[in-house]
Amino acid sequence: MNPQGAGLINTAYYEGLIAQVQAIENCDALNQAVTTIFASIQAEKTAIEQQIARYQPLLALLTPPTTPNAVVGWVSNFISLYLTPQIQPFYTYTTQLATLVTTIEHLVSEIEAAAGRIPTCQVVVPSLS
């Protein structure tokens, strides 16, 4: 298993693309392949650059503070540059969970109403635990 961020570029994928290009025999197909291939490459490059940008501010935290005043700044930067982004998904997930619960309640209500409109229909809504 590779550590996070240690994944390598899938060279076999690119070798397959090269083989695909080598097999193309008409200009339209070549142009279409180039468009598709480079859109994929651009997306991969953009994703890598976004990850680099995400970690760039953390590089300053690798230099330990050398004075008491610098410690205060270092701790402040640690909180704002590292801890705050790390905890952000917590807030997103709690909001999503609240929305999910409300949506499920509405869905169950509608299922029960639909079952009530259909003679002899019994629906057992599974419990989510």
The answer to whether the beta carbons of residues 127 and 104 sit under 8 Å apart is no
DSSP state of 80: I
Tokens representing residue 20 in the block: 């695909």
CA distance 124 to 64: 59
Those residues of the chain that have pLDDT short of 70 are 1-7
pTM of the model: 0.55
Q: What percent of the chain has pLDDT over 70?
A: 95
**pLDDT tens, residue by residue, 13-30:** 899 999 999 999 989 999
DSSP state of 64: -
CA distance 85 to 71: 20
CA distance 55 to 84: 13
How confident is the model at residue 1, as a pLDDT?
46
